[in-house]
Amino acid sequence: MSKIILVTGATGTLGSRLVKYHLDQGDRVIGLSRCDHKIKNFPIKHDNLFWCMGDIRNNLDSVLPSNGINVVYHCAASKHVDFGEMFPEQYHDVNYTGTINLFKKVNCQRFVFFSTDKAVLPVNFYGMSKAMAEIYLRSMKRSSNRHVDIFRWGNIVGSQGSAIHGWIKQINEGYANITHKDMTRFWLKIDDAVEFATRDDHDRNADVLIHPHIKSASIVDFVAAIAECMGIDKFEFRVTGIRPGEKIHEHLKSDHDSCIRSDTAEKYTHDELLGLVGPIVSQYIGGGK
């Protein structure tokens, strides 16, 4: 039986993939975005795709229906750590207040929220705004008995604004900027993220859901894999220094007895890293930016 699906941030990397997935399933999809340019140029045209232009920070009464939606995927967010430090009020309004607005507005069967490893032991405003949204949704889950899934993960490989694209350009010029040589991060393929998020058999008692196969890699190894996929073996790392709000290692859990840190988690092997970044490098170099 087909469902009615709402995707916020529907023109982004994860949002657009969720739109495509549910259209392929025969569902009706409502895409919410604040960018008219991205809506107009969205690559998928489908009779079951309906667009709403709006901002989750604002009153959504004139934009979205209150009832009839089965599943909400809340992808919309402000995500760059450095901009969060510069414009904390904006990040609060988008990531926290916007989540509250959406949850109150849409009375759905399942509300899916995409969080971040930066919400764990947060040291930057982006992480703090996501952590506050997590706490709010856990509270609402207990008090409203609504089905709420909170997914927490690290970097989606090749997402819009990804550092990969910048590194490709730099490596072509003989260098790659990194902030710290010991830095590690969690990485996940977009296909794995979509497959995990669209499942409806997750433990409903879990506060947060973490992909069971998420792995980490050092930034040095990650960038070296990009260069290898480009066929370049000579370039230099330029260490620029840790930026405000940035950690050397991220965490996926805050329970210190069973904490998963990006430097202690299972690592991607060399071949796995090549398989992780290779398709993104090929797409970028081939003009599919």
d(CA 74, CA 98): 10
User: CATH second-level architecture of 163-184+215-285?
Assistant: Alpha-Beta Complex (3.90)
d(CA 88, CA 136): 19
Domain ranges of the chain: 4-152, 163-184+215-285
Closest CA relative to residue 147, chosen from 115, 103, 196, 191: 103
DSSP tag of 209: B
Q: How far is CA 249 from the centre of its chain?
A: 18
pLDDT category of residue 266 using cuts at 50, 70 and 90 = very high
Element (H, E) at 192: helix 190-198
Tokens encoding 227: 């260069």
- Determine the 3-state secondary structure of 188 from DSSP: strand
Cβ neighbours, 10 Å, residue 41: 9
Average pLDDT (126-130) is 98
Q: Determine the pLDDT at residue 162.
A: 76
d(CA 2, CA 260): 38
Sole residue written with tokens 């090549």: 274
Q: What is the pLDDT of residues 43-89, one digit of tens each?
A: 999 999 999 999 999 988 888 988 899 999 999 999 999 999 999 99
Which CATH number fits the domain 4-152, given the four candidates 3.90.1170.20, 3.40.50.720, 3.40.50.920, 3.40.30.10? 3.40.50.720
CA angle 152, 157, 160 (to 5 degrees): 95
Cβ neighbours, 10 Å, residue 94: 23
Q: What is the pLDDT of residues 134-180, one digit of tens each?
A: 999 999 999 988 899 999 999 998 787 678 989 999 999 999 999 99
Q: What is the pLDDT of residues 7-43, one digit of tens each?
A: 999 999 999 999 999 999 999 999 999 999 999 999 9
Strand partners, 53: 33
Instruction: Report whether pLDDT(271) > 60.
Output: yes
Q: How far is CA 195 from the centre of its chain?
A: 14
The DSSP code sequence of 17-54 is: HHHHHHHHTT-EEEEEES-HHHHHT-S---TTEEEEE-
Instruction: Report whether pLDDT(257) > 70.
Output: no
Residue with more model confidence, 165 or 6: 6
Q: Considering just the CA atoms, what is the radius of gyration of the chain in Å?
A: 19
Residues 6+ apart with CB under 8 A from 217: 184, 185, 187, 225, 267, 268, 273
Single-letter code of the amino acid located at 203: D
Q: What is the pLDDT of residues 220-235, one digit of tens each?
A: 999 999 999 999 999 9
Q: What is the pLDDT of residues 174-197, one digit of tens each?
A: 999 999 999 999 999 999 999 999
d(CA 87, CA 77): 14
